[in-house]
Amino acid sequence: MFSGEHEMRCVRRKLLLETLAKELPSGTIRYSSQVVSIEESGHFKLLHLADGTILKTKVLIGCDGVNSIVAKWLGFKNPAFVGRSAIRGYSDFKGSHGFEPNFLQFFGKGLRSGFIPCDDQTIYWFFTWTSSSQDKELEDHSAELKQFVLGKLHDLPAQVKAVIEKTPLDSIISSRLQYRQPQEVLWGNISRGSVCVAGDALHPMTPDIGQGGCAALEDGIVLARCINEALKTKQGVGEEDEEEFNKRVEMGLKRYAKERRWRCFELISIAYLVGSIQQSDGKILNFLRDKILASFLVGLLLKKADFDCGNLTST
């Protein structure tokens, strides 16, 4: 999808993760390994897993999601609930869906929904609303979630509603939207010693500008480059000791934290702002949104997506 010089693509997260995983040697990834606690042991960190296993590591990069144990170890608070929830789904038409490669978005009356093709056969859609404690009961019931969305979006064109109607129940998920307080990212410990966080563990944000997964990829490139530069050994220097290695790692992680801090602060803040404005049901804010702020918000979204995190390797 194009807008001027910008291009938007919708990639299924499952396919992205599978593609990245295939590039790693077999056995690199250990699945179903939830970290429950972290213990220090000299220069090492001991990771206690839910199944009782203990992993010993020199360097710990926490990519363990929104409710990250590593982030808590670094001193971050639990992400805050923003008062909104989202229902998402994928609809596979098993043939051409007939939609143009454009992002369709509808908002008003405190609701927001969007539809974007992934390819010629598949469409991703989302629906967000201001949720109550009663709505939490819907999360585990896909059939009720689908009917809930269709009931709220009954005024949409039939072709658009058909996307939701054709969505298999096992492709529908619901979640409460959370974010990390922006000031925490600005002043908190993104790294400490040989430990740092990345992805949702660092910058959980609302999905309103579509940059959560993109920011995680940025984290990976910046982190790999910073560690690579820090661990380069000088010619003519013998094998370094444990203390020197740890200093180099710490230096690399500090540089990574410095590079990512302001970018993460901006993304979290803007995502929250855009979502709050677009989903508002207040008359004054709705007037400003529709008459004045609409083009500004689109420009803001595109500007934040247009980001160059540099080359993977240093020159």
Instruction: For 189-238, write each residue's pLDDT tens digit.
Output: 999 999 999 999 999 999 988 888 999 999 999 999 999 988 875 544 44
Give Cα 132 to chain centroid, integer Å.
24
Distance CA 263, CA 304 (A): 9
How would residue 172 be classed by pLDDT, with cut points 50, 70 and 90?
very high
Instruction: Count Cβ atoms within 10 A of the Cβ of residue 308 and give its class: 0-12 exposed, 13-18 middle, 19 or more buried.
Output: exposed
pLDDT over 90 for what percent of the chain? 59
Q: Which two tokens stand for residue 16?
A: 């992205």
Asked if residue 147 has pLDDT above 80, the reply is yes
So what's the pLDDT on residue 297?
A: 67
Tens of pLDDT along 17-65?
899 999 999 888 888 888 999 999 988 999 999 999 999 999 999 999 9
So what's the pLDDT on residue 137?
A: 72
The DSSP output letter for 169 is: G
- Cβ contacts of residue 103 below 8 Å, gap of 6+? 1, 8, 114, 115, 116
Which sign does the torsion angle of CA 132, 134, 137, 138 carry? negative
Judge contact between 108 and 205, C-beta under 8 A.
no
Complete domains list, the chain, with CATH: 59-79+180-305 (3.50.50.60), 82-178 (3.30.9.30)
How would residue 105 be classed by pLDDT, with cut points 50, 70 and 90?
confident
What's the residue count for the chain? 315
Asked if residue 1 has pLDDT above 50, the reply is no
Q: Which two tokens stand for residue 50?
A: 């839910």
